[in-house]
Structure 1
Amino acid sequence: MLFQHIIKKAENNPKKLFLIDGLGALLSAFLVGFVLVQFKDYFGMPANTLYLLAAFPIVFVFFDMYCYLKKHKKTGIFLKMIALLNLQYCMVSMGFAFYHKDTLTTLGWTYIFVEILILLLLSAFEFTVGKRLTRTS
């Protein structure tokens, strides 16, 4: 099965997941904090909310880079932590989406759902690899 093969490869080099997550967080911060702000009328979410949402992935970038660059024996625990942080970001994003439901456009809802879908998949993957790593160490 493809998913199991990818998980096995990630187990052999789990730090790459932090790099992937960090680059994704950087992209998310740019999209939410710059692109969506520039086109806020098309998405329907106020700029101050978008700036607040962009702060989360910026923090994740620093956490991911720390985990990627630092030598430690807690990779599995840190992978589970970033997975949980990503899930919390999903909940916060959805909370803001419902708070602004009267102004959020179809494009805004689409962006939120696509970002959440990507983060759910990534979080499940990170958590699975993190769980396997903590079992073997």
Structure 2
Amino acid sequence: MMDRILKNPTKVFLIDAVGAFLTAITLGIVFTSVQEFIGMPKELLISLAIVASLFFIYSASCFFKPQKNWRTFLGVIATANLMYCLLTSFLIITYFDQLTIVGILYFVGEITLIVLLVYFEVFIIRKEDQHKKSQLENN
């Protein structure tokens, strides 16, 4: 899978879009209907779902309409993903007493997956930068 993505790095936007879509559905539909099993206030679940929906739109747009400077766009979503993780971490700390073990496990798991995705996104950007640098040196 890694080789396929490195051959067509804009595919990482698809991975990001699918993850954001699943997060938006999970937070905005599933968890709001069973909020008492999660513990996070419903308004915050909806707000996080809206953010995830915006990330979905952005990443899906970048995947279906790739740009020449895709590295910049990937850097933007990687930064946004990290900011989402910081926000979610802040909410975990703020609402820790209200969160259930299921809620804590979900949000910590989500942060872990997103951080891994960001690491992968940065890896792809750096790999492409190295490739472009070696092309310039060879010419």
Provide the TM-score with structure 1 as the length reference.
0.89
Measured after TM superposition, the shift of residue 136 of structure 1 is 3.4
Query: Percent of pairs identical after alignment?
Result: 32
Is this contact kept in 1: 2:24–2:50, CA < 8 A?
yes
2:99 is paired with a residue of what secondary structure? coil
What CA deviation, in whole Å up to 9, does each residue of 1:42-81 have, x standing for no partner?
1111100101111111111111122112242111222222
Match of 2:119 in 1: 124
Is this contact kept in 1: 2:17–2:59, CA < 8 A?
yes
Measured after TM superposition, the shift of residue 90 of structure 1 is 0.7
Find out whether 1:89 has 2:117 as its counterpart.
no
Q: CA separation in 2, counterparts of 1:54 and 1:66?
A: 18
Match of 2:40 in 1: 45
Is this contact kept in 1: 2:40–2:95, CA < 8 A?
yes
Report how many aligned residue pairs link the two structures: 132
State which drifts further: 68-77 or 58-67.
68-77
Gap runs ≥5 in structure 1: none
Match of 2:15 in 1: 20
State which drifts further: 48-57 or 64-73.
64-73
Instruction: State the one-letter code of the partner of 1:15.
Output: T
Match of 2:57 in 1: 62
Q: CA separation in 2, counterparts of 1:35 and 1:47?
A: 11
Is this contact kept in 1: 2:24–2:52, CA < 8 A?
yes
Equivalent in 103, 112, 123 of residue 98 of structure 2: 103
Measured after TM superposition, the shift of residue 132 of structure 1 is 2.0
Q: Answer 1 or 2: higher relative contact order, Cα 8 Å, separation at least 6.
A: 1
Provide the TM-score with structure 2 as the length reference.
0.88
Larger-Rg structure: 2
Is this contact kept in 2: 1:76–1:131, CA < 8 A?
no
Gap runs ≥5 in structure 2: 133-139
